[in-house]
Structure 1
């Protein structure tokens, strides 16, 4: 079962350096938001890089990246941090930190691009933050492994992944205030980015 974590904190930092950096960055930015007006304050979120599809911010391309490191409320941070801590490490070990970073950022950016396009198409304005799109990109990469590299993933991990995706999709659509298109876009982005990466470079095997 690749999704069970056995490492102590020292081993975790050693084996999963980029995941650790991403976690720390999310926590640091949450603290910054909290002491500058609050993490659920729209003006504070906009000030520190939230993604918004209003024409006044159309030139702020960097928001597609910075928004991935902001979270609206502690529960938002907690859920995404848990997902990173538990589910992301095997993918970092498989791809290596650099390619894993390409997957994480690329999938998150694509999810944000598709989310903005969706809200523009329906004439709605949104302020979006969170690492969920990038996390779903990791799930998308695992889905590719589960479907096309079946020998690399044990059956228990495959069933866990499918269950996670089913509940994740239901949650994305059932809950209000969820940027479901960022989730879906990240999932699709991660699936195809991983497929491209393994054609350019042969991945390692999973470390349990």
Structure 2
């Protein structure tokens, strides 16, 4: 099972520097936001960089594009933060090793951005007149799940059976959870997972071409 973590704290930091940095940034930014106000307040979240769209005036959130990134490091409450950081702590390290740290950092950010973009697109399609505010690392984390889904389906030899079953279980549970729990952005999860699946496919093909060259 590749998702079991046996490393010491020091070894974890050394082996997975980007994942460690991402967890630290999420926690630090949450503390900054929580100390200065209510993280669950829409106005307060918007002030600190939440992803925001308005179907009439800014349907894709492009007026302030930095929100596509800043929102990935924000959370609406301590439970939201802990849930996502646990997922990052456990599931991200194997992917960081597979991609290498630099490539993985870009991969993570792109999946988070894609999650926000998918959420904005669906919001426009549905014609929701209300402004959309989104925060959380879930889109990026589902991008990690998307990569392992690709590996589970097309590179089975790289994952043991228990790890593959874990990937399927997490994704099924995640979809059900996204439907049942209010205020969970299902489409951000879908966008992140889809981006992760396709991005890993690109990386995998590039790696195959280098080996055969």
Bin of the TM-score, shorter chain as denominator length: over 0.9
CA separation of 1:146 and 1:114: change in aligned 2, threshold 3 A:
same
Q: Which runs of 5 or more structure 1 residues have no equivalent in the other structure?
A: 203-208
Q: Is 2:187 aligned against 1:184?
A: no
Please say which of residues 76-85 and 121-130 is displaced more in the overlay.
Answer: 121-130
Which secondary structure state, in structure 2, belongs to the residue aligned with residue 29 of structure 1? helix
Which secondary structure state, in structure 2, belongs to the residue aligned with residue 3 of structure 1? coil
Please say which of residues 36-45 and 74-83 is displaced more in the overlay.
Answer: 36-45
Task: Name 1:206's counterpart in structure 2.
Answer: none
Task: Name 1:63's counterpart in structure 2.
Answer: 67
Distance in 1 between residues matched to 2:143 and 2:9, nearest whole Å: 25
Task: Name 2:160's counterpart in structure 1.
Answer: 154
Residue 151 of structure 2, aligned match among 145, 154, 160: 145
Structure 1 residue 117 displacement after superposition = 1.0
Aligned length: 202
Task: Name 2:3's counterpart in structure 1.
Answer: 3
Task: Name 2:177's counterpart in structure 1.
Answer: 171
TM score, norm. by length of structure 1: 0.94
Q: Is 2:142 aligned against 1:132?
A: no
Q: Which runs of 5 or more structure 2 residues have no equivalent in the other structure?
A: 209-213
Structure 1 residue 201 displacement after superposition = 3.1
Offset from partner CA, 1:93-127 (integer Å, 9 cap, x none):
11111111122111111111010111122222211
Q: Is 2:17 aligned against 1:17?
A: yes
Q: Is 2:80 aligned against 1:81?
A: no
Distance in 1 between residues matched to 2:165 and 2:113, nearest whole Å: 28
Which secondary structure state, in structure 2, belongs to the residue aligned with residue 201 of structure 1? helix
Offset from partner CA, 1:168-202 (integer Å, 9 cap, x none):
11001111100000000100000000111122236
Task: Name 2:45's counterpart in structure 1.
Answer: 45
Structure 1 residue 58 displacement after superposition = 4.2
Aligned Cα RMSD in Å?
1.1
Kindly report structure 1 stretches of 4+ aligned residues shifted beyond 4 Å. none
Structure 1 residue 133 displacement after superposition = 0.1
Task: Name 1:97's counterpart in structure 2.
Answer: 101
Distance in 2 between residues matched to 1:97 and 1:44, nearest whole Å: 33
Contact 1:16–1:92, Cα closer than 8 Å, also in 2: yes
